[in-house]
Structures are given as C-alpha cells and as structure tokens.
C-alpha cells in the first residue's frame, strides 16, 4: 500500500471518529495507534508512552494554565461592566459611537482571556442590552461582536499561540509579540469600517449622548485603567526581556487576584471556580496536545509528511499559491473544528510543506491564527456565531450575515500580512535586537 492510500485511509477514519462525536484528543490518539499498528513495524506502546509524556513535560507549556487562570479571575470580576462604563464616555464623538465599545472591549478582554468565544460572550452579555436600548442597529451590534470576538485568538496572551508554539517548537515570547501589531491592525480595520458605515448611514444611528467633562471621563475609567496597566505590564515585561512568558503569567495571576480583591469580587467561591475552570481548560488542551504528538510521530513513521512535502515541492507552487490553497483548507476545516484542534491536527503535515516553500514559521503562526479567526464566524460551526445565538436567540445564518463584512476584513488582513510580512515579524526582530 502506497503512502497516498495510507493517508486517505487515516483521513477517512479521522473524520469518521470526529463525526461520531468522539473527543478530538481521543480521535488523534486512535488514529496514531492505528497508523503505528497497521502501517509500520514500530513498537506502539513505548512510542505512545514516551511521546505523550515528552509532549507535555516541557517548560513551554508552563504559561498556559497561568494565563488561563488570569483570564478566569478577571472574567469573574466586574471587568465587562468596567469596560463599558470606562470606554463609553471616550467614544461618544467618534462615528459609530458606542459600537466601538464592542471592538475595543473585545480587544482588551482578549488580552486577559485568550479565548474567542469567552471574549464574545463576556462583552456581548454586557453590551447587547445596552446598545439595543439606545437604538443601535442590531446588525452592527452582532457583527462587531462576532468579528471582534475573534481577537481573543490573536492578541497576546493568546492560548492558541502557545499551542502553536509548542507544536512548531517556536519561542512563545516571540509569537506573543508577533501578534501585537496584527491585533492592533484588526482593531483599526474594524473601527474604520464601523466609522465609515455610521457616516454613510447617519439616519440609522441614534443621537449622540451629551458630552461630559474630562474629569468625569477619568473617574468613569478609574477601574478600567488598572486592568489595562496589568495587561501592558505583562506583555511589556516579555517584550523587554524582563520576564519569561511563565514569569509574566505568574505576575499576571498575582495582579489579577489583587485587582479582583480590591474590586470586591474575590471570594472563596469565585477563587475555586476560577481554579477549576482553568484546570479543566488546561487539561483539555494538554490532552489534545498529547494526542497530536502521538499522531505526529505516527505520521513520521508512515512517511506521509515527507512524501507530501516532496509532492508539493515537485508541483513548484509559489509561496502565494500555496498560501491561497492553505487559506481555503483552513477555513473549511475551521468550519467543523475549534481553533486549537485545527492547529494541533494540521501542524505535523502542514509545517514540512511550509518549510519546504521557504515560509517563516513565526509569520506562518500569525497567518494561521488569522485564518482560524475567519472560521470562527462562518457557519455551520462558527463558535462565535453559536455564542451570539445563545445570547440573542437569533437565527444562526442571520448572525453569520451580520458578521460577513468582518469576515472580509479578516481576509483583507491576511492579504496585508502576506504582502507586508513585517507587520508580524518587525516587533520580534526588534525584541531580538
């Protein structure tokens, strides 16, 4: 049996397992075991034991539970309320006014949660009733939330960037810093679109709120400023080389506990809920990573990645043509799997192809996250769409239609970082210097 037939069999089995509702991690383990047992002469037991252990016994994963815990602590504080009351007074003069609260609020919360769905749910729970009450168009309310919620995957400390860094054996610190400018670029693109739409459709926008004195704006932002300072300190300490990602994450947890205690939202119950939430999420991700590591080693024994990379090389595709094909592939795959699963499922096969084409793996990590972000707002399994459907009860495809402009903005962002790769690579290069 040749490599192509083996690959098709394994792919068919994987989709069969996933379609049957088997956990992603178990599906990856099962395919790895099947490949080793039936298509190689390797000793399956020792390989699984050593591979699963070595994939998790790495300091690169140490920041993961800490950053997740930091997000859990702040998620259970009054952060979402503070963001709405703190941001609204500053945005009243911009075209689109309070719609920008969704975008900037998601950007700020993305920096503490690292999760797309959690970002959309937290900000949406607070902003949707308020914006509807003031008469903002429902389509823009849902579109800005769906699109901006995806920032949770890109803006550091992004959980998916940690997963990619471990899978691709890259520096987590450099990946975090690489996500800063693309994340800021997305915020600017989203806010620009809202501003242009509001300028063209003035009749559909509610009247502006009365202006308030500068001192009142500062007071309204009083509880938001410490959170922004904490985020800046965490990312700045990594960029400046003052702290490793693990040390910065530990600092972030301590800071989040202090802020939560000062705000009065820290209790024994909220502390335990945060610890258990972080534990469940971390274990889920680690289980998937272990399964992906087993599958990666199994693929190596079968020779599929090597043959596939050689086949791509023979096709003599330009890097742009390869990226165009991969963009379609990731969008389709992301319609059925969450972002972390997409990354760990594909790295063993995709990364050799990318390296053979001479594409920088650090840049490729930001590209992958942007494309996976697009899949978060596309049916039938766009996770942000499900979150907003749960919050509003609206039809899934109506929400997808509202999010369509932001899908195209994400696609435009992919084009921009492809044409100008320095958007993703300049800050890491400065950090090295």
Q: What percent of the chain has pLDDT over 90?
A: 11
Predicted local confidence at residue 338, as pLDDT = 66
Q: How confident is the model at residue 1 (pLDDT cuts 50, 70, 90)?
A: low
Predicted local confidence at residue 72, as pLDDT = 80
Average pLDDT value for residue range 25-36: 87
Q: How confident is the model at residue 186 (pLDDT cuts 50, 70, 90)?
A: very high
What tens digit of pLDDT does each residue of 365-377 get? 999 989 888 877 8
Q: Which of 5-19, 51-65, 413-427 has the highest mean pLDDT?
A: 413-427
Predicted local confidence at residue 110, as pLDDT = 76
Q: Which of 164-168, 266-270, 338-342, 401-405 has the highest mean pLDDT?
A: 401-405
Average pLDDT value for residue range 289-293: 80
Predicted local confidence at residue 305, as pLDDT = 66
Q: What percent of the chain has pLDDT over 70?
A: 92
Predicted local confidence at residue 406, as pLDDT = 92
Average pLDDT value for residue range 72-93: 74
Q: How confident is the model at residue 363 (pLDDT cuts 50, 70, 90)?
A: very high
On average, the pLDDT of the chain sits at: 82
Average pLDDT value for residue range 274-290: 83
Predicted local confidence at residue 335, as pLDDT = 67
Predicted local confidence at residue 320, as pLDDT = 87
Residue bearing the bigger pLDDT, 82 or 8: 8
* 3-state DSSP of the chain: CCHHHHHHHHHHHHHHHHHCCCCHHHHHHHHHHHHHHHHCCCCHHHHHHHHHHHHHCCHHHCHHHHHHHHHHHHHCCCHHHHHHHHHHHHHCCCCCCCHHHHHHHHHHHHHHHCCHHHHHHHHHHHHHHHHHHCCCCHHHHHHHHHHHHHHHHCCCCCHHHHHHHHHHCCCHHHHHHHCHHHHHHHHHHHHHHHHHHHHHCHHHCCCCCCCCCHHHHHHHCCCHHHHHHHHHHHHHHHHCCCCCHHHHHHHHHHHHHHHHHHHCCCCHHHHHHHHHHHHHHHHHHHHHHHHHHHHHHHHHHHCHHHHHHHHHHHHCCCHHHHHHHHHHHHHHHHCCCCHHHHHHHHHHHHHHHHHHCCCCHHHHHHHHHHHHHHHCCCCCCCHHHHHHHHHHCCCHHHHHHHHHHHHHHHHHHHHHHHHCCHHHHHHHHHHHC
Predicted local confidence at residue 381, as pLDDT = 60
Predicted structure pTM score: 0.76
In this structure, what token pair is assigned to residue 120? 């959309």
Predicted local confidence at residue 93, as pLDDT = 78
pLDDT score of 32 more than 80: yes
């Amino acid at each position: 049996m040749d490599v192509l037939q083996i690959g098709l069999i394994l792919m068919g089995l994987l989709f069969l397992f996933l379609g049957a509702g088997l956990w992603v991690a178990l599906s990856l383990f099962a395919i790895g075991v099947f490949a080793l047992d039936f298509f190689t002469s390797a000793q399956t037991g020792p390989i699984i034991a050593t591979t699963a252990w070595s994939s998790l016994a790495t300091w690169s994963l140490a920041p993961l539970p800490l950053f997740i815990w930091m997000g859990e602590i702040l998620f259970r504080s009054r952060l979402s309320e503070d963001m709405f009351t703190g941001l609204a007074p500053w945005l009243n003069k911009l075209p689109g006014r309070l719609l920008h609260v969704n975008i900037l609020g998601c950007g700020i919360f993305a920096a503490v949660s690292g999760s797309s769905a959690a970002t959309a749910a937290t900000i949406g729970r607070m902003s949707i009733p308020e914006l509807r009450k003031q008469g903002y168009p429902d389509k823009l309310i849902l579109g800005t939330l769906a699109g901006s919620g995806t920032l949770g995957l890109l803006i550091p400390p992004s959980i998916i960037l940690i997963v990619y860094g471990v899978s691709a054996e890259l520096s987590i610190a450099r990946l975090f810093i690489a996500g800063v400018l693309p994340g800021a670029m997305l915020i600017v693109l989203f806010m620009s679109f809202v501003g242009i739409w509001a300028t063209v459709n003035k009749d559909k926008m509610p009247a502006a709120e009365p202006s308030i004195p500068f001192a009142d704006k500062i007071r309204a932002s009083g509880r938001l400023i410490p959170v922004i300072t904490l985020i800046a300190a965490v990312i700045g300490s990594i960029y400046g080389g003052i702290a490793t990602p693990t040390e910065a994450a530990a600092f972030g947890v301590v800071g989040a506990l202090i802020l939560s205690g000062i705000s009065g939202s820290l209790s024994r119950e909220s502390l335990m809920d945060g610890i258990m939430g972080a534990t469940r999420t971390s274990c889920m991700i680690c289980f998937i990573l272990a399964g992906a590591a087993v599958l990666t080693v199994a693929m190596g024994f079968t020779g599929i990645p090597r043959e596939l990379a050689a086949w791509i090389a023979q096709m003599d595709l330009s890097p742009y043509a390869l990226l165009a094909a991969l963009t379609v592939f990731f969008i389709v795959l992301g319609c059925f799997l969450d972002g972390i699963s997409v990354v760990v499922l594909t790295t063993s096969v995709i990364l050799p192809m990318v390296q053979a084409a001479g594409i920088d793996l650090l840049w490729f990590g930001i590209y992958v996250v942007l494309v996976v972000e697009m899949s978060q707002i596309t049916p039938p399994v766009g996770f942000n769409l499900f979150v907003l459907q749960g919050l509003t009860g609206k039809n899934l495809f109506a929400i997808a239609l509202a999010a369509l402009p932001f899908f195209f903005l994400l696609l435009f962002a992919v084009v921009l970082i492809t044409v100008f790769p320095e958007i993703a690579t300049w800050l890491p290069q400065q950090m090295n210097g």
